[in-house]
Amino acid sequence: MIAAIQYNSRKLQINLNEPIDISMPLRASKSNVNAWYVDEPKIEPARDGEWIASVKEGACINFNNISFNPHAHGTHTECVGHITEEVYSINENLKQFFFLAEVITVAPERFDDDLVISKKQIQFALGNKKRDAVIIRTMPNTRDKISRQYSNTNPTYLMEEAAIYLREKGVKHLLIDLPSVDKEKDDCQLLAHHAFWNTKGKLRMDATITEFIYVSNKVEDGRYFLNLQIAPFENDAAPSKPILYKIID
């Protein structure tokens, strides 16, 4: 199905029959993607005495409790409340869900003992394009990102200057295939988070960061229409399911 839509002052056609899911599934398994030194997610039937809420165990329903951390266990979208003393909810602050997006692929650069994404790389990839959302795929892009255990591995991160550049370029929604835009251990400086949300100036309440996405190598760099779906959690972050649609020229 081809849908014609009016987005701001632009008329776009998108193919609704070919959604591209760039989220990671959450599984109750040690092979689920993981970061930040916590145990794997748990999905277990509720219990009441000897009664177990599982059809396999003789119940008439499956009725599971789920325990997980949105920041550690998969694709999640967060708001400025992630780093502020005042409580802000992603559910209260993300009010629009469709955005013009650009997928870019970056091979991280060496910086001291780290691998980083620099302002220069982002500038080169985006050029003069104006986008509401930028989706960063890092190289190498192997399927094991879906099950990688990131704790104590010092993953690639975004340099502060790159986050400032994205903010000044008007990018509202940043999506990345890493556990964080910041360095794993940085003495809680969180430079890229603070820069993107502009905590030293007027807070960007409607800006979001989505981490732990996975963009298949089959997805080409370029322009897409993004549907950023979140679970309605009253929390700084919520599990999310970003979906891309090709734009037909």
* Residue pLDDT, tens place only, 86-100: 999 999 999 999 999
pLDDT band at 8, cuts 50/70/90?
Answer: confident
CA 7 vs. chain centroid, Å, equals 23
Is 5 a residue whose pLDDT tops 90?
Answer: no
Least confident of 22-26, 132-136, 139-143, 245-249: 245-249
pLDDT band at 9, cuts 50/70/90?
Answer: confident
Q: Say whether 194 sits in a helix, a strand or coil.
A: helix
Q: Report how far residue 32's alpha carbon sits from residue 211's, in angstroms, rounded to the nearest whole number.
A: 15
**Residue 247: which residues within 8 A CB-CB, separation 6 or more?**
12, 13, 14, 223, 224, 225
Q: What is the pLDDT of residue 221?
A: 98
The string of pLDDT tens digits covering residues 39-85 is: 999 999 999 999 999 999 999 999 999 999 999 999 999 999 999 99
Angle (deg, nearest 10), helices 119-126 and 160-168: 40
Domains of the chain: 2-25+70-246 (3.50.30.50)
